[in-house]
Structure 1
Amino acid sequence: MSGAGTLSDGQNPLPFDPYASRETLRLTTVYATPWTYDPATVDQAAGRPADVLNLGRLARYYNTSDQQLPRVLRREVLDCPSLTWQRWRAGEPVSAQLWHFLVPSGQVIVTLTLDVPGTLVEAIPLLEDLYYASITCAGQPLEQLAADRIGCTPNGDGTVPGFLPERHQLVFRSVDTPDQAPDDDVIQRVIYRTDLPYRSEHSSIRYPTELNRRPTTVGALGPYVSLIAGHQDYIENCVLLSAVQAVGSAARLREIRAVAYTYVHRFRHRTTGPGDAHDRRTTLEDISEGLSQLEVELSYSVEVGGEIGMLVPALRVESFHQELFAAIGVTERAATIGQMLNRLGNAIAAELTSVESMEQRAADRRRVRTVVAVTFVTTVTGTLSLLFGFFGINARQVDDHRSMFDDHYTPIYALIATILLCALAIFAGMRLQERWEERRDRRRRHTWESTHRLLAREAGAVILDQPQPIPRSRRPESRTRPSRTTPHY
């Protein structure tokens, strides 16, 4: 606790950290960037958040889980007179700070914090400038300034990649009495960044319960702007870290979706010819490997980021964190993209099964060709070996003065022919047996009756006899039919 703190009511009042007290508004805009570090290479450069930000009694929880939460890469104080705007003309900021955060996935998140005088409604044009980064510092655009500070080099075309579409704004205001708390109309004007009236029944603003518990505290969240009023300084810093985590997760989710669509395009335009099995397998294996990486990235960079209660046991922090992820739409979109990756993986698995079947059939054909060739060679060589072996023995049945085609050797030729015929008969009998078994399997009935009898045998189910049809009773006629011979008038 810093300062004297605030005492609670009761006989034994408990001291609490003092609520933030400042005469100016604090506007913080969080920008997602395409700049990414390997987290293993910047562990020493990135500091723990509690070493730079005032996190109060929650500092030790953030330090313990610093590998799972955003960390601070660098912080710079900007020269306020050098800042220029496109829409805002209400004055000059009191202070300006440029932050670079590193989220667990390695993404760099840029944050610009301004302390400005004026009211909430007067700050709406400045919020518009901040959201679209319509700011220059000493004539240099904000995107170029942030890229230079992080060491981002230009692309091949000479341009430096700027901020990504994912961004979120935080508006912090001090509240001393309940009368100073902003009303619903002011809240919607700030969150929608427009000075226009609205109908409350058509609004996407969320009010976390824990941030609106006291008369002097306000917490209102929108998809792009959030208003936090009347809370302690360490809660505001925790809110900032949650916004950094949410923006980083949203940006990574969009990148995962883009890569998944690339894989879908490759899957749809794969080769399908029977002679391209190897190319198909290679393509499918590459896509499958990429999908496994996307699955891990979706789980550890997006889905896990939406849960902070296990790391920081604070109701207000957890309430804001969960509502912010829901307001931005990260939770629902992550589930949708997860299903898309799962279904694409199932399609690839089915295609790989088809390729394996094709390769198996090709292997079977090669094996059959090999067996036929070997069997033919074995049969010919075996027959010749038997024949020449007979003529090569030293016996009186072999006459050197007779030709091998003489009728004297008819019995030996008949024996060889008999052996070949027996082999052919054995082959034909086995083939007939195989065909008979195939026909028997095809005639086997696979109906629901077989299933019920299996259940009756294994599980004790009871099979009832076929019920007798119930005779349909004739409905009594309400009137007597007229005789055909009776004329009708």
Structure 2
Amino acid sequence: MTLNSAGMRSDGADGGLFAPYAARPHLRITTVYSTSWVCDPAQLPTDEGALTDFLSFGRLAPFYKMAREQLPRVLRKETIDCASLVFQRWRTDLPTSATLWHFLHPSGQILVALTLDVPLSLVESVPLMEDLYYANIECAGVPLEQLAGERVGHRSEPGEVPTPGFLPERHQLVFRSVRSPEDAPNDDTVQRVIYRSDLPYRPEYSSIDYPAELNRRPTTVGALGPYASLICGHQDYIENCVLLSAVQTVGSAARLREIREVAHAYGHRFRTRSDSERDAHRRRTMLESISEGLSHLELELSYSVETGGDIGTLVPALRVESFHNALYSAMGLTDRSATIGQMLTRLSNAIAAELTSVESAEQRAGDRRRIRTVVAVTFVTTITGTLSLLFGFFGINARQVDDQRSMFDDRYTPIYTLIALILACALAIFGGMRLHERRTERRERSRDRTWGTIHGLLTREFGAIMLDPTRFTPTPSPNPTVPGTRTRPPDGEPQPSPSGAPTQ
């Protein structure tokens, strides 16, 4: 049994074996733009914007339904009047259809996609692709960026400095039908489309990637670059899967750049903190705010960038996974996310070390406050205790206390001597304890932490044997005039002389 170009059984049996290949008469170009507009997905109805309501995924539809919370969703789909479109470079003809899409990335970022069907060949579409990539398009006199913003409720106030809506991250998809293996584009045509340049090239210096699963059939072609991809001869549902993967990847790339910019701002703030932030409390407050921000960035990096690079777990399809992984790699997201992850980790380590320094400074300040408090309380206690002993003695009703004598009379010398002895004993006890503490500190500082320390530990724990170098047998000094004892060689064999020259 063989298959025809439509994907049906060629022997005339009823029913199709798999979905037919796309038989579109014109070229389809879809450009995906990342934007600075965000929307909280939790504020939208969960059953609104389902992918399967706007895009056909064929037999893969159940998997996209199951993973709808981890994939982009469709906010709007609008058909645009082709006669109202004006381009900067391409002026040869009008598109046959135009569709404006608004997608919502799982991170909350809104992405815009413009799909045009044009009666052009691949090479003739290069000027149009330039206009689409740089958004040099107007619809009824309104720039595409402004039109896309108005559709989601973004309007600049009069006198307000307009903020850019479209961000640098964007990717173009070119879809084309292939009727026969001879109709498939060659490598030179592919590179002209991927690089958007109608010039020859040297294949050994090309960075175009050809995923294996997208180029398996004679009539299928899949070529990827960082900014444009060419998909030829595949089914409609594969093209829709490719579109959704491009939306996911462009959104992740934009979020990765934002994470890098915020992390760079945190690092700059940490390194150039002013003298007013040298105070321990202000330093702690600043470091805690940066540390909290870094925790959010690390979580966003994991869930909005790194997790988005895995589509095979959600959709078990070789061609979809092959394109998605290749696009992530072509746009450099895998290596960049690892680099930015290390950047966040090292900045977190620096913040933690600085917090440890602040805690140590605060602890030393606390110790000094406690010492001052203890000294003051001890002084007051000593004075009041001494006066309590003295006044307690003079306040008793005993015959040893004569109310006719002065308290400074020589008769009371024994009681003053006793109080002085008590104070002297307290001072001696304090001095002895301080002397013992200093000796202990000196002994700990002078502890030998040399080579034998770690090997002594190994000796105790693992049974290593430590040798005494003084018991080594000295190496005998060689006597150049007296040959050493050796076995006599067999007869007829040359015997080396003491000088090293062979003896005949």
> Shift in Å at residue 431 of structure 1?
0.5
| SS class of match (1:54) | coil
> 2:407 pairs with 404, 408, 413, which one?
404
Q: Deviations over 1:397-453 (max 9, x none)?
A: 111111111111111111000000000000000011001101111111112211111
Letter of the structure 2 residue corresponding to residue 24 of structure 1: H
5 Å-filtered alignment, 1:271-290, equals: 271=274, 276-290=279-293
> Shift in Å at residue 44 of structure 1?
4.5
Letter of the structure 2 residue corresponding to residue 145 of structure 1: L
Pair 1:254 & 2:257 matched: yes
Runs of 5+ in structure 2 lacking a partner?
1-5, 482-497
> 2:374 pairs with 348, 371, 376, which one?
371
> 1:422 pairs with 421, 425, 434, which one?
425
> Shift in Å at residue 89 of structure 1?
2.6
Q: Is the 8 A contact 1:7 1:16 kept in 2?
A: no
Q: Deviations over 1:374-402 (max 9, x none)?
A: 00000000000011001111111111111
5 Å-filtered alignment, 1:205-354, equals: 205-271=208-274, 276-354=279-357
> Shift in Å at residue 157 of structure 1?
2.0
User: Aligned residue pairs: how many?
Assistant: 476
| SS class of match (1:7) | coil
CA 1:360–1:149: 2 relative to 1, 3 Å: same
Partner of 2:90: 88
> 1:107 pairs with 106, 109, 121, which one?
109
Q: Deviations over 1:49-108 (max 9, x none)?
A: 111101111111111111100100000000011111111133111100000000100000
Partner of 2:49: 47
Partner of 2:475: 470
Q: Is the 8 A contact 1:207 1:220 kept in 2?
A: yes
CA 1:45–1:167: 2 relative to 1, 3 Å: farther
CA 1:475–1:266: 2 relative to 1, 3 Å: farther
> Shift in Å at residue 42 of structure 1?
2.1
Q: Is the 8 A contact 2:7 2:16 kept in 1?
A: no
> 2:189 pairs with 179, 186, 191, which one?
186
> Shift in Å at residue 268 of structure 1?
1.1
Partner of 1:171: 174
CA 1:8–1:359: 2 relative to 1, 3 Å: farther
Letter of the structure 2 residue corresponding to residue 186 of structure 1: T
Pair 1:149 & 2:151 matched: yes
Q: Is the 8 A contact 1:152 1:160 kept in 2?
A: no
State how far apart, in whole Å, the 2-side matches of 1:362 and 1:246 are: 51
Runs of 5+ in structure 1 lacking a partner?
480-489
Partner of 2:492: none
State how far apart, in whole Å, the 2-side matches of 1:325 and 1:415 are: 89
Pair 1:358 & 2:384 matched: no
Select between 206-215 and 42-51 the one with higher mean Cα deviation. Answer: 42-51
Q: Deviations over 1:139-159 (max 9, x none)?
A: 111001101111112167242
State how far apart, in whole Å, the 1-side matches of 2:352 and 2:10 are: 62
Letter of the structure 2 residue corresponding to residue 51 of structure 1: D
Q: Is the 8 A contact 1:153 1:160 kept in 2?
A: no
Give me the TM-score of the superposition, normalised by structure 2: 0.91
Q: Is the 8 A contact 1:25 1:117 kept in 2?
A: yes
Select between 445-454 and 409-418 the one with higher mean Cα deviation. Answer: 445-454
Letter of the structure 1 residue corresponding to residue 475 of structure 2: I
Select between 128-137 and 43-52 the one with higher mean Cα deviation. Answer: 43-52
| SS class of match (1:47) | coil
Letter of the structure 2 residue corresponding to residue 351 of structure 1: E
| SS class of match (1:32) | strand
State how far apart, in whole Å, the 1-side matches of 2:136 and 2:47 are: 30
| SS class of match (1:165) | strand
CA 1:215–1:475: 2 relative to 1, 3 Å: farther
> 2:78 pairs with 69, 76, 79, which one?
76
State how far apart, in whole Å, the 1-side matches of 2:347 and 2:444 are: 36
